[in-house]
Amino acid sequence: MHLVLVHGMGGTPFTWSSVVPLLTERGYSFSLADNLSQSLYDDEANVRALIDAVDGPVLLVGHSYGGAVITAAGTHDRVVGLVYVAAFAPDGGESVQQIVSSYEPAEVSKYFTRGADGEWIPATDEESWRELAWDVPEEVRLAGRAESRVSADAIFTQSTTVPAWASKPSWYLMATSDKHLRPEIQRDMAKRMGATLDEVDTSHAIPHAAPERVVATIMHAIESGEPLPSGLG
């Protein structure tokens, strides 16, 4: 089984820097998506290219907005399952913006500004980190500052066509103290998908705050015994 790990909005492969050593120790094969967060459709195409390069079954793992990306890209024939890590899971014809607009705003909303073209620019000050990612180790937090990208509004307004979770098994690791993606939204999406749900009491930054729980969820998905598509066993 090959893993493709997909970061969230404005992120980079650094999102998984605490998870990667644990996967490597266990001998898992994986690829890290490096999406520009300018278009959901472009990010989907990038992940599909990573899947195309794999000769065998693929498990997609998405964090935050990365969940929307794997929801779209996961219809690829080689994908056998999806793991959502405090991630969005849109339905067909639904966008990330439509999901969040149905609930009260999360605390993260006060820490973004909009650029001239509607892009989303995150705050990187101490106050925002203390409120939003208090459980991320200090050295990781400082290293991550240089990795932040500005995200285009399109990644939130473009909608999913066919959601992969409608036809493939899914697992959801929910952050119960999340101030980016409200926990009730996560729970509702997991229920709608029929995903296997697990919970961890962390901030939105589960991959850094509790990387071992991310790996445990991935292992659960791999060891679940789900049948593989014909020709991929």
Tens digits of residue pLDDT in 68-94: 999 999 999 999 999 999 999 999 999
How far the first Cα of the chain sits from its last, in Å, is 9
Domain assignment present for residue 227? The answer is no
Give residue 233's pLDDT.
Answer: 29
Q: Which two tokens stand for residue 219?
A: 């292992």
**What's the number of domains the chain is made of?**
1
Give the CATH number for residue 80.
3.40.50.1820
The rounded distance, in Å, linking the Cα atoms of 67 and 74 is 10
Tokens 């639904």 map to which residue?
94
Give residue 225's pLDDT.
Answer: 54
Domain assignment present for residue 190? The answer is yes
Domain assignment present for residue 231? The answer is no
Domain assignment present for residue 230? The answer is no
Domain assignment present for residue 228? The answer is no
Amino acid sitting at position 142: L
The rounded distance, in Å, linking the Cα atoms of 32 and 117 is 28
Domain assignment present for residue 99? The answer is yes
The rounded distance, in Å, linking the Cα atoms of 127 and 139 is 17
| Containing structural domain, residue 94 | 2-222
Domain assignment present for residue 34? The answer is yes
Tens digits of residue pLDDT in 151-209: 899 999 999 999 999 999 999 999 999 999 999 999 999 999 999 999 999 999 999 99
Tens digits of residue pLDDT in 35-48: 999 999 999 999 99
Domain assignment present for residue 24? The answer is yes
The residues that bridge with 122 in the sheet, in sequence order, are: 112
